[in-house]
């Protein structure tokens, strides 16, 4: 069990023997664990680094085991601090990327066009579709409204009719939405590619790698959009899209579990998002599923890991390479 805290199996055995037999000498511990005294010394050093053993006041030159209530609490505190640090680093990185894109868009506003309202957005999408000469890439996270798909169809049909290549990303949750799967099947029938993933980049459309449409407010895409032609911003958006595309699964193919971990991509993404400190509600919004579904996934993960808490599940998942 203590291996998930960074302790080797042999050191864990030495610690348990010391707890069960506090009067044992180093030689006694070695004999009980079938180790050499030198090996016991090494494991004592390992335990000491985690403050699980201390110098004995009654037996000079020997060590005593610190009770689990005290020793393990200290180890968990260190793990919590490291986890909090990783979460902070991830948050800073994401904020930096968002800020960079926003700042570049502001500095080069003359190269972009602000669109307000759905009518203006749909009109611009139609123009972009008509001007396309090679490809259209799009990322469509969250719930897809039937009326929005209907509005997009004429432009998509016109582009497809001219032999334009289309690649579309949806979230895994849309596989259970009939109107979305019907639209995706239509795209597939027109020789387009459609893939899904647990989480994908913000809503965006990129045409010929030379122009893109992104929401002004990703939290409410109906507020408006920004038409971007600045190469630096386009390069960043293309990187985001290609990274997501390369890890997504073609529509119609089952999402296989990792053969080494038995974890699905959705479960892995839930673990990753929760490890950053997000709530079940926020994770559900990111994945396009309900908070209750997030809870069910976590219960299944905890059961498989033998974890009694989400924190313990996070530690075990990290040590198993699930994160």
Same domain for 262 and 246: no
| Rounded Cα distance, 57 and 297, in Å | 49
- Domain of residue 269 covers 256-319
State what percent of residues in the chain have pLDDT above 90. 4
Same domain for 246 and 155: yes
Is residue 203 very low, low, confident or very high in pLDDT (cuts 50, 70, 90)? confident
Residue 101 lies in a domain: no
Residue 88 lies in a domain: no
pLDDT for the residue 258: 46
The pair of three-digit structure tokens given for residue 202, joined into one six-digit string:
């913000």
Q: Name the least confident of 31-40, 157-166, 286-295.
A: 286-295
Same domain for 128 and 243: yes
Would you tell me how many other CB atoms lie within 10 Å of the CB of residue 265?
A: 19
Using an 8 Å Cβ cutoff, are 236 and 101 in contact?
yes
| Rounded Cα distance, 59 and 42, in Å | 20
Into how many domains does the chain fold?
3
Same domain for 260 and 162: no
Residue 102 lies in a domain: no
Domain boundary among 250, 268, 295: 250
Residue 36 backbone dihedrals phi, psi, to 5 degrees: -85, 155
The rounded mean pLDDT for the chain is: 78
pLDDT for the residue 206: 93
Residue 104 lies in a domain: no
Same domain for 276 and 246: no
Radius of gyration in angstroms for the set of CA atoms belonging to the chain, rounded to a whole number = 27
Report H helices in 9-166.
9-20, 26-33, 37-49, 68-107, 118-131, 146-161
Same domain for 160 and 202: yes
Using an 8 Å Cβ cutoff, are 286 and 279 in contact?
no
Same domain for 271 and 242: no
Is residue 259 very low, low, confident or very high in pLDDT (cuts 50, 70, 90)? very low
Domain boundary among 23, 44, 71: 71
Is it the case that residue 109 has pLDDT exceeding 60? no
Residue 76 lies in a domain: no
Residues 6+ apart with CB under 8 A from 175: 181, 196, 251
pLDDT for the residue 188: 84
Output the CA torsion sign for 131, 136, 142, 146. positive
The 10s digit of each residue's pLDDT in 260-274 is 456 777 787 787 777
Is residue 79 very low, low, confident or very high in pLDDT (cuts 50, 70, 90)? low
The 10s digit of each residue's pLDDT in 180-197 is 888 888 888 888 888 888
Task: Compute the average pLDDT of residues 85-94.
Answer: 65
Using an 8 Å Cβ cutoff, are 205 and 97 in contact?
no
The CATH number of the domain holding residue 186 is: 3.30.870.10
Is it the case that residue 137 has pLDDT exceeding 90? yes
Same domain for 269 and 239: no
Same domain for 240 and 290: no
DSSP 128-192: HHHH-SSEEEEEE-SPPPHHHHHHHHHHHHHHHHTT-EEEEEEEGGGGG-HHHHHHHHHHHHTT-
The CATH number of the domain holding residue 18 is: 1.10.10.10
Task: Compute the average pLDDT of residues 287-315.
Answer: 80
Residue 62 lies in a domain: yes
Residue 13 lies in a domain: yes
Residue 67 lies in a domain: yes
Q: What are the strands of the beta sheet with 211-215, ordered from one edge?
A: 113-116, 224-228, 211-215, 204-207, 135-140, 165-171, 193-197, 249-250
| Rounded Cα distance, 321 and 323, in Å | 5
Higher-confidence residue of 281 and 219: namely 281
pLDDT for the residue 262: 67
Same domain for 201 and 150: yes
The top-scoring range by mean pLDDT among 25-29, 68-72, 206-210, 313-317 is 206-210
Is it the case that residue 40 has pLDDT exceeding 80? yes
State what percent of residues in the chain have pLDDT above 70. 79
Higher-confidence residue of 76 and 146: namely 146
- Cα 181 off chain centre by: 24
| Rounded Cα distance, 25 and 31, in Å | 10
| Rounded Cα distance, 145 and 235, in Å | 29
Same domain for 299 and 193: no
| Rounded Cα distance, 4 and 317, in Å | 9
Is it the case that residue 26 has pLDDT exceeding 90? no
Same domain for 49 and 172: no
């Amino acid at each position: 069990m203590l291996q998930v805290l960074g302790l080797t199996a042999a050191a864990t055995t030495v610690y348990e023997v010391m707890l069960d037999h506090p009067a044992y000498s180093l030689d006694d511990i070695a004999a009980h664990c079938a180790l050499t005294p030198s090996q016991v010394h090494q494991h004592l050093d390992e335990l000491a680094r985690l403050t699980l053993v201390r110098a004995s006041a009654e037996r000079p030159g020997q060590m005593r085991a610190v009770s689990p209530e005290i020793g393990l609490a200290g180890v968990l505190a260190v793990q919590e601090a490291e986890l909090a640090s990783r979460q902070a680093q991830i948050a800073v990185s994401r904020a930096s990327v968002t800020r960079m894109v926003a700042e570049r868009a502001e500095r080069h506003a003359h190269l972009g066009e602000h669109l307000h309202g759905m009518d203006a957005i749909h009109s611009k999408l139609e123009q972009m579709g008509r001007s396309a000469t090679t490809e259209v890439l799009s990322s469509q996270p969250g719930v897809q409204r039937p009326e929005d798909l209907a509005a997009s169809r004429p432009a998509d049909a016109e582009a497809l009719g001219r032999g334009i290549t289309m690649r579309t990303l949806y979230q895994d949750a849309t596989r259970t939405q009939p109107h979305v799967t019907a639209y995706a099947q239509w795209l597939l029938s027109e020789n387009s590619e459609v893939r899904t993933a647990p989480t994908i980049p913000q809503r965006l459309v990129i045409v010929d790698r030379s122009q893109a449409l992104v929401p002004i407010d990703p939290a409410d895409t109906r507020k408006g959009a920004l038409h971007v032609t600045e190469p630096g911003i386009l390069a960043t958006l293309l990187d985001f899209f290609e990274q997501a595309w390369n890890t997504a699964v073609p529509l119609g193919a089952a999402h296989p579990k990792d053969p080494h971990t038995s974890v699905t991509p959705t479960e892995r993404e839930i673990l990753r998002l929760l490890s950053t400190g997000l709530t079940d509600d926020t994770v559900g919004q990111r994945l396009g599923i309900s908070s209750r579904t997030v809870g069910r996934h976590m219960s299944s993960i905890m059961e498989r890991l033998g974890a009694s808490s989400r924190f313990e599940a996070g530690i075990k998942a990290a040590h198993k390479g699930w994160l």
